[in-house]
Structure 1
């Protein structure tokens, strides 16, 4: 629907340009001298506009996305020359072969001139006009689309933060209060003090670290571990979720609050308290291919259906589309007993390597 609307708008732009050109022709008094040449002129005009429109949309729909957007300028240059030759050949066949047999008149005729050379020069000019026009309009469309996507991303990120911080009224007061409890319990109840410390880490992460679009993988994984820790405490010896981290971290970054969506879905909606039905969370950090993969597998109750959790499945997909276009992969699979989620997305490279060892939580 979006592409269809864009094409219709481009057709309207071309119609306006053609109308202005025809008005200019009339004002300049370029009219035929006989009925036959007048009819021939109108037919030639139609064939020219048809050829021009074809070149315009071939460039707009095929060459610009494939070469200009991908910054393959050399390939685009050869494609332009090929397009010009096609334009010249089509016009020559229509105007100097087919229409010449019908009307007995040439479109271009200069004494002693090479008509093929004239068509090549003329076609180069009009191909250049069609190409420049379609490139400018295409880039304007893409700029406008990118601006809207960035606006949507900002709104989505704000929504993610609001969803994660529903109870955030005065974080400084909350942290100070929890810190007081931590100090008071550190000697007498060290385990409880440790729980308070991890809770502070969770709150501090969603309060401060997620204020930007990206966070380091190391911080995101640390957040995941603290999150899972509380489920482990809740279920004690009946928590059967295995978290496997594969690979090294070199300060790569990922969108904030993306990974927790998958972990939350496993811990809140999957079967995690049965030893014979363990859940698995695998995070692969592939620095060679510059991508991060998340795979989760967990059993579910027969009546359990996957639904939005955390900041929402649809919100996740929209954020990834805005950030990475089609350079990510996200899918969910579910049968009567098991649910599986998969995400693959690019890593944002910063610098400096820090090691992240394998960690297993069972």
Structure 2
């Protein structure tokens, strides 16, 4: 509950309580006795008497419970309550035995002549013990919800931090390899070098711009994916066999940026790309509600990577954080082929 709503709730409660006491107060008058003076007197009396429960409630709620009860200092809490009622007892005695009778001709108790410190103490306790328990309950309930809110905020901050870290780990191998390929092309003065530099600049621009956003348009992710494939083909000097197929209408749809590239890089890094009969297959299809992405490649069993699939673990964690209940990732590792199938619902 917002603090403003909480404040309005408190004000509303005490206002309703004051109006209720006013109704009971006016019932003691005959219709003919009601006038401006009697109404003003009743309003003042009921407001003054309401100050005792308000003082007890908020002193306990804002000071005593947080300082002692919630810190398990029960003895100190009980002592503080006794001190509070001891301080209020003389004021109570003065208000009910002197102020109200003399200034407003208002007599609340039949035992006013016997009202003393101890009797005022007991009267305060008897009339306001409900507010003591009420303030304790509200304080503990408020603490519970505040703790839940902080835990949710902390979990959100941790997720954002973790996502930022995971994004920072994306593409280092691919970029270094691409730079090496471009260096070789420029050294050889190959005609593909300018095109490769242009595509790499587009990749870097996309990575810097979109990686800070939670989602990016799918059409931009597809352009990024195509540039990656074309750069890889340039680096392989035309002996890379990659089938990229895109179906469906991506207009108006979004996806977490730099998710798909991990699967493609994994296929390039661990698969055989120079076999015309077994090309790397990349299939992306989009319909009204689902997004499907599949990458399959022939395995290069002669190549062993010591990093152990860090990229796939990275993207699996990102998917779990961004699409916790909306995605299905199936990784099939067979003797000769490796296939990744990703489905995202309600894209």
Task: Please report the TM-score for the alignment, with normalisation by the length of structure 1.
Answer: 0.48
Task: Please report the TM-score for the alignment, with normalisation by the length of structure 2.
Answer: 0.49
- Max Rg structure: 2
Pick 1 or 2: higher relative contact order, CA cutoff 8 A, min separation 6.
1
